Amino acid sequence: MEKLLKLCGNAMAAFMDFGVGTLITALIALAFGIELPVWGYLIGGVLGFLPDFDVIWPTLIQDRPNGDHHQTLMHRPIILLPVVAVAGWLIGGTFWSMTATACVFWHYLHDTPEFGGGGVAWFWPFSKKYWSIFKGGISPDRSIMAMSETEHKRWLEEKWLMPSKLAFREIGAGAWGVSIACVISQWGRMGWWSFLCGVVTYYTVWLPVFAIWILWKKHTKKTART
């Protein structure tokens, strides 16, 4: 149970990237005049957290990322952005090239300290430093991404597996992203009723979140008694 709940906690930490990815996809589809199927928006959401694919396997096996995962090629914007742009164009033309690039760029922006991230080496291979807008570059060893296994465990338990300002802010932003994407995607079919679809989507996102928080609280109480 504990491992499953921690996997859910890691998924919650990635949800803002997913939600904004769906919104970016909806906005670009609107600009292009394209009507996407549901799976198109899901792809956009996945693209929103694509750079974090480097933590999926270590998280499934070890319950935590293997060291500072922002040091992998998946978090090298100069490398990955052109790759996803070309791949998107080859697979789906201009629309998916722009969408993939915008979604992955958003992820890197979210990883920048001003947006709550731990830092990303924007100019690697020319510089290994994690750059922020106002503070300049810092060594990866001094960033919050250099947290120990104990610190990561505490971060997951205190910030995601129980109510916190960070969880409410980021999950809320992700929920808004998915909800607005729902309104945009359904406007042509439902008109003003699409706003109801958006509201239902927003609150539906929170149902499993509160369920996980309740289950985690029960789990910690049970563990404390044993």
Show Cβ contacts of residue 200 under 8 Å, excluding neighbours closer than 6 positions: none
Confidence of residue 200 (pLDDT cuts 50, 70, 90): very high
Percent of the chain residues topping a pLDDT of 90? 47
Q: Which residue type is seen at 208?
A: P
**pLDDT (0 to 100) of residue 139:** 64
Would you say the pTM of this structure is higher than 0.75? Answer: yes
Beta bridge partner(s), residue 130: 138
Structure tokens at 78: 């100069």
Cα 178 to Cα 209: distance, rounded to the nearest angstrom: 15
Please report, for residues 45, 122, 123, 168, 193, the alpha-carbon distance to residue 99 in angstroms, rounded to integers and kept in the order given.
Answer: 10, 20, 22, 27, 27
Cα 204 to Cα 198: distance, rounded to the nearest angstrom: 10
Q: Look at the block and give the residue holding tokens 């992998």.
A: 72
**In the predicted structure, residue 174 carries a pLDDT above the cut 60:** yes
Q: Are 113 and 135 within 8 A, CB to CB?
A: yes
84 closest CA partner among 111, 21, 74: 74
**pLDDT (0 to 100) of residue 147:** 59
Domain that holds residue 62: 2-225
- Mean pLDDT value across the chain: 85
**pLDDT (0 to 100) of residue 119:** 77
Q: What is the dihedral of CA 202, 207, 208, 209, to 10 degrees?
A: 80
**pLDDT (0 to 100) of residue 28:** 97
Percent of the chain residues topping a pLDDT of 70? 85
Query: What are the pLDDT digits (tens) for 115-166?
Result: 777 778 888 888 777 777 767 666 666 656 555 455 777 888 888 999 999 9
* Number of structural domains in the chain: 1
Average pLDDT in the 53-65 region? 67
**In the predicted structure, residue 203 carries a pLDDT above the cut 90:** yes
Query: What are the pLDDT digits (tens) for 62-100?
Result: 655 555 556 677 888 999 999 999 999 999 999 999 999
With residue 38 as reference, give the H or E element that holds it: helix 38-48
